[in-house]
């Protein structure tokens, strides 16, 4: 597809080494060893080739998908990305969740956290967030709210887990998403960058409406089941709860994060000259 306009060969062997290598990227050990990860499905691949072309190693499509999503092919070929046509059974062997379109991306070396946070106004930090769907949805919410970055602490799920990538719906490629060191180091770097550290917790002493939301902020979101630990609460400038006005017992992590990030984004816009 990427060579001199001749009719491309179609990859037809589901047992080829390359197919096995791509499939292996569903496992964290293989991602760490190869410094590569999978992006599955037309939405994620479209955003990857558009916003992160420099990180894309290979794009794989079935013939049918290449006809259904010509814009993906056009962008990939224009960016000179290695683009391959594959038989449906080959793509199914690479990933059961690809819907005809798949890309392999290079994992970038995380840069300096201080440099990343310098000049930011709104950052989400996931501390011990283990559920991939939740982590991906928070990344998507951070993107929608206009956040500048997302930092995951070492104890959180890997942001390149295929389910995280799918759950971000392309937002993974719209803002920096990095693995940070310990939560203490992340909050230290945030303070150096001039950010207020706000931690979301159902038992927080400050209601969301009363929190200092106009200032640049790093929001810390904790584990789904156990909430924030004592350490996370002690590292925050304010521990903030979302008041429950109805009969719901609580909000799930992604819903709570969305409300907190939007509240900050709105307050910061009002506070800006």
CATH number at residue 237: 3.40.1280.10
Any domain includes 2: no
Q: What is the pLDDT of residues 172-214, one digit of tens each?
A: 999 999 998 899 999 999 999 999 999 999 989 999 999 999 9
Under DSSP, the state recorded for 252 is: -
**35: Cβ–Cβ under 8 A, 6 or more apart, which residues?**
106, 107
Is the same domain home to 46 and 131? no
Any domain includes 240: yes
**Edge-to-edge strands, sheet with 56-61:** 10-11, 82-86, 56-61, 101-106, 36-40
- Please give the sequence-ordered ranges of beta strands (E in DSSP) within 70-225, or none if there are none: 82-86, 101-106, 122-126, 149-152, 177-179, 196-200, 206-207, 217-221
Last residue of a domain, one of 63, 79, 106: 106
- Show the domain range for 239: 113-271
Domain count, the chain: 2
Is the same domain home to 72 and 172? no
Q: Are 132 and 161 in contact (CB under 8 A)?
A: yes
Under DSSP, the state recorded for 119 is: T
pLDDT at 4 over 50: no
141-170: string of b/e by CB count within 10 Å (b at 16+)?
bbbebebbbbbbbeebbbbbbbbbbbbbbb
The domain that holds 81 is classified in CATH as 3.30.1330.30
pLDDT at 1 over 80: no
Measured between alpha carbons, how far is 55 from 251 in angstroms, rounded to an integer? 36
| pLDDT at residue 229, rounded to an integer | 87
Q: What is the pLDDT of residues 77-94, one digit of tens each?
A: 999 999 999 999 999 999
Alpha carbon 205 to chain centroid, angstroms: 30
Measured between alpha carbons, how far is 53 from 258 in angstroms, rounded to an integer? 28
Q: 3-state secondary structure string, 62-107?
A: CHHHHHHCHHHHHHHHHCCCEEEEECHHHHHHHCCCCCCEEEEEEC
Under DSSP, the state recorded for 161 is: S
- Per the prediction, the chain carries an average pLDDT of 94
Q: What is the pLDDT of residues 213-253, one digit of tens each?
A: 999 999 999 987 788 888 899 999 999 999 999 999 889 99
| pLDDT at residue 226, rounded to an integer | 80
| pLDDT at residue 273, rounded to an integer | 66
Is the same domain home to 172 and 205? yes
Any domain includes 65: yes
Is the same domain home to 95 and 80? yes
| pLDDT at residue 227, rounded to an integer | 81
Any domain includes 166: yes
Q: Which helix (H) or strand (E) holds 60?
A: strand 56-61
Place of tokens 């038989």: 87
Is the same domain home to 173 and 234? yes
Any domain includes 241: yes
**Residue 110: band (very low, low, confident or very high) from pLDDT cuts 50, 70, 90:** confident
Last residue of a domain, one of 106, 141, 166: 106
| pLDDT at residue 111, rounded to an integer | 87
Is the same domain home to 129 and 56? no
């Amino acid at each position: 597809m990427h060579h001199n306009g001749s009719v491309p060969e179609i990859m037809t062997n589901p047992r080829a080494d390359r197919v096995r290598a791509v499939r292996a990227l569903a496992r964290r050990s293989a991602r760490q060893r190869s410094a590569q990860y999978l992006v599955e499905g037309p939405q994620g691949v479209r955003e990857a080739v558009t916003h992160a072309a420099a990180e894309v190693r290979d794009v794989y499509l079935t013939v049918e998908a290449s006809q259904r999503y010509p814009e993906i092919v056009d962008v990939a070929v224009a960016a000179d990305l290695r683009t391959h046509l594959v038989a449906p059974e080959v793509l199914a062997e690479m990933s059961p969740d690809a819907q005809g379109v798949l890309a392999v991306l290079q994992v970038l070396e995380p840069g300096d956290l201080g440099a990343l946070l310098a000049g930011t106004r709104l950052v989400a930090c996931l501390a011990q967030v283990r559920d991939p769907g939740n982590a991906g949805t928070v990344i998507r919410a951070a993107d929608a709210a206009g956040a500048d970055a997302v930092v995951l602490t070492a104890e959180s799920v890997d942001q390149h887990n295929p389910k995280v990538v799918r759950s971000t719906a392309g937002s993974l490629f719209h803002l920096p998403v990095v693995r940070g060191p310990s939560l203490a180091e992340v909050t230290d770097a945030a303070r150096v960058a001039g950010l207020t550290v706000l931690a979301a917790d159902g038992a927080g002493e400050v209601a969301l409406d009363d929190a200092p939301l106009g200032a640049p902020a790093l929001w810390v979101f904790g584990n789904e089941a156990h909430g924030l630990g004592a350490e996370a609460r002690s590292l925050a400038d304010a521990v903030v709860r979302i008041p429950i006005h109805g009969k719901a017992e609580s909000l799930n992590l992604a819903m709570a994060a969305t409300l907190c990030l939007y509240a900050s984004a709105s307050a910061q816009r009002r506070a800006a000259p």
